[in-house]
Structure 1
Amino acid sequence: LTYLPQPWGHCHSVLKGNLLPGYADYSLTACRIHCEKEAVVRKCHCRMVHMPGTEDICSPKQYVECADKVLGK
């Protein structure tokens, strides 16, 4: 994949640095989980067990009453 150079784009053909906190490498899966985590933390004030971070893990009640709804489950 090659991105167009300036002035047509601001993208990099080589990823530089850690783009997503908690992940060593960028991937579509990492991006999706990061976005889902941000939504769950914003609404539920906790994170699901598989999501990286330092926020509290959601309780079973928080899963049912909040996190699952945020993720449309």
Structure 2
Amino acid sequence: MRSTIATGMLVGILAGVATEARADLPFFNASCPGRIEVHADRGGPVYINGSEARLKRFSKDYYEAS
């Protein structure tokens, strides 16, 4: 359950920060409940707790990482 909640929160974070005019994933850092740290460089990749996550791009401004 914890990973499901964290994934949902991560999707919300990514959707919120991916609203720039560019199609690339923006640079961001986030701390989520449950000691989950998320980091992405501009254009990717995305790291969750230091491990590279799978990144799905659904459109130029909607991404999911897991």
Q: Above 0.5 in TM-score?
A: no
Coarse TM-score class (shorter-chain normalised): 0.3 to 0.5
The structure with higher relative contact order (CA 8 Å, sep 6+) is: 2
Structure with greater proportional strand content: 2
Structure number with greater Rg is: 1
